[in-house]
Amino acid sequence: MKGFFKEFKQFIATGNMLELAIAVILGGAVKAVIDSFTKDVVMQLVAAVGGKQDFSKLTFTLNEAQIGYGNVLTQALNLVIVGFVLFMIIKAYNRMKRTPEAVPQAPAGPTEIELLAEIRDALKSRG
């Protein structure tokens, strides 16, 4: 049992656990921003265009059973919006992380051996 607690202490003390905790906290914050963007901006635009901000009350009747498809439609739209926002965040992150393009180098001059060969040939031609 002592080995178990020692191993657990090592696990907790590593950076991986701290990084995971930070990622979960940041994920919650990002989720709140995306949810607000979806509800307060995009769904308002949908309401302006389509006349309804919330589709959750949409239903149809089939053999006297009322099928509610509106909530599924709302959640599917939210999924597409969240996916798009995350795509844009990752795209911006990758652009920021990218190393600058290599500056073109000037063409390399002749090597030392080539220069010596030119000097030799010039001396031979002089006679």
pLDDT score recorded for residue 102: 57
pLDDT score recorded for residue 79: 86
* Helix-helix angle 15-37:2-13, to 10 degrees: 50
| pLDDT < 50 regions, the chain | none
pLDDT score recorded for residue 101: 65
pLDDT score recorded for residue 53: 65
Q: How many domains does the chain have?
A: 1
In a domain, 116, yes or no: no
In a domain, 121, yes or no: no
| Beta carbons of 56 and 39 less than 8 angstroms apart | no
In a domain, 125, yes or no: no
